[in-house]
Structure 1
Amino acid sequence: MTELKYHRVLLKLSGEAFAGSGSGIIDIPTVRGIALQIKALSQNGIQVAIVVGAGNIWRGAAVAKDGIDRVTADYAGMLATVINALALQDMLEKEGVTTRTQSAITVQQVAEPFIRRRAIRHLEKGRVVIFAGGTGNPYMTTDTAAALRAIEIEAQVLLMAKNRVDGVYSADPQKHRDASRFDRLTHLEALSKRLKVMDATALSLCLENKLPIIVFDMTAPGNLERAVGGESVGTLISSEA
């Protein structure tokens, strides 16, 4: 990349991204592939922070429907994000990328506590920072955590990585063949159309703070670098019409 549009980014990885196309919880070759893409960004001087989900291991809202207390289920989900964060951290470090994991819940043996100023300092020193534990609060999704952390570290864009979905559609493209893909949207349009980009709380945070979002397919080779370079990849959601 010769020219960079964004110099500090926050990448949101869903839990499903760690499972890949396999039937297991974490597919190591898939995680290694993600690490290599992140390494390429870091080597080009881009400051990269990451928020990880845990849908491959645990979904608090779904488990709560089966009878477990919702707050307890959500805290278990936060612990599950730590597992994914550690797997990604290990793959990054095996590729020579200096990495720090910060958690919103206390797990001192394996991760630093989330401290905003320390996270920014890590980024300034060229370290990749992984945020685990969501926001540290029940009823809050990791999408909300991604929006919040992006705003806190003053990221220039929130990159929403999807598995084999190349943007935002008018309907589920796997169920509706006539669904159309949007190239650009405003935050208000995404909210008013009730498009399943992220939950409304996360989208509202991005709207209020004018944080652009790029929704793209990370499984396509080179898409992550192209998105950071400012090329038209996936769907751009911004405050501009």
Structure 2
Amino acid sequence: MKKHVSTENCKQLLPTIKWGQALCLGAFTLVVSGCSVTPPKTFTVRAEVPENFTVTGTADYVPGPGESCTGRSGKPFRIGRLHFKPEQPNTAHQVEFKVPLTDTEHGCPTVLQELTMNIEGQWGKRERDMSLASAGFSISQEPSALSPATSTPQAQVFNGQCQWLFRTVGSKRVIRKILQCRAVGANGEMEKRMIGGRLHRDQLADSTVKLVLSVAKEEEPAVGDNWVKFPTGWKRCMGEDLDDRDAFCFGNTTDFKNFKMPDGRDCTVYPNCTE
């Protein structure tokens, strides 16, 4: 029968070890004779991001093999979540944080199941002038087809491109932007699929997962049949009248209406404002 040793008991069993340098992992490291203290294995997440972008992490952990965990409600514990922020301020458009493969923060031994990298882009000067996208990674327990990770595992690199999509909102037709990020294929073109993929546990310890993001040079309309592109920029279709907030073009490429830029300017063409 598997026993669990509490954090406090581990401290008492190993008084000669500095507690700040070790972590008791309960059933993962417990042997019959007592508690073995081993720091959890981790991997590094490193993201190269454009200006005014940052990346944080959200990791989901599930009970380890053979573990039965009970949450605060008294019901079986299913998923625990940890959040990760860059360890240092964004330097040279690069952010980095470490993710443990196992966790005991939720009262029982758990293993990493999924990692979401939250991509935040700032498009305006105000704090609320931002939008979110994400990259997702599932953690496979199956052995990788590659040879076991060496003492210096190579970084796994995932490329993505973000696209700013513009639209108008409200009766005054104010410009707002939405962030869309997609994977970049081997040919360098943006694909329809999300950024991310499958990571194999046996390749992760002490390795680096690298996310390289770029931004498309040109913005696109969030709703295709709302705007018409001219040499001077995009014009907003009239729709039925000025009060028509949906304002689909429906083939009408001669009647347009003005809109407001975030700074309050009244404009007729985006992004140059005036023709």
Which TM class, normalised by the smaller chain length?
A: under 0.3
Query: Which structure has the highest helix share of the two?
Result: 1
In terms of Rg, which structure is larger? 2
Kindly indicate which of the two structures has a greater share of residues assigned to strand: 2
Provide TM-score, normalisation by structure 2: 0.24
